[in-house]
Amino acid sequence: DGGITQSPKYLFRKEGQNVTLSCEQNLNHDAMYWYRQDPGQGLRLIYYSQIVNDFQKGDIAEGYSVSREKKESFPLTVTSAQKNPTAFYLCASSIDPTGASETQYFGPGTRLLVL
């Protein structure tokens, strides 16, 4: 089956700990995105990547880091610098490298909770 997978479904973080959220796609899409969603809020863009080995900050990149070493993978690390990490994290991809207005395909999400 083609699609986007995210793991884990739930993730618990201790104070001062870095955690990494996985995102894998087998759609052969060039562009990938990470969003954060808080209750009752819209999706806010954290980082996006239009091509392998390149990525750009979104609106709320502080406290997060990403890598894009392979086309199919775009992991997100929530660092200890992110003081309010509890949220629902969504990964998405789109066909067009420009990515700007193209349809996005979303993964099932990872819910991050702080212990």
Partner 1 sequence: SQKIEQNSEALNIQEGKTATLTCNYTNYSPAYLQWYRQDPGRGPVFLLLIRENEKEKRKERLKVTFDTTLKQSLFHITASQPADSATYLCALANSGYALNFGKGTSLLVTP
Residues 59-78 that bind partner 1 (CB under 8 A): none
84 binds partner 1 (CB under 8 A): no
Q: Pick between residue 84 and residue 101 the one whose CB is nearest to partner 1.
A: 101
108 binds partner 1 (CB under 8 A): yes
Between CA 56 and CA 29 the distance in angstroms is: 17
**Interacting residue with partner 1 among 52, 58, 73, 80 (CB under 8 A):** 58
Q: Pick between residue 2 and residue 42 the one whose CB is nearest to partner 1.
A: 42
Give, in order, the Cα–Cα distances in Å from 63 to each of 18, 33, 58, 79, 84.
Answer: 10, 16, 12, 5, 9
Q: How many residues bind partner 1 (CB under 8 A)?
A: 25
Is residue 25 a contact partner of residue 33, using CB atoms and an 8 Å limit? no
CB atoms within 10 A of CB 22: 16
Is residue 103 a contact partner of residue 88, using CB atoms and an 8 Å limit? no
Q: Pick between residue 49 and residue 82 the one whose CB is nearest to partner 1.
A: 49
Binding residues vs partner 1 (CB under 8 A):
4, 33, 35, 40-43, 45, 48, 58, 88, 90, 92, 98-101, 103-109, 111
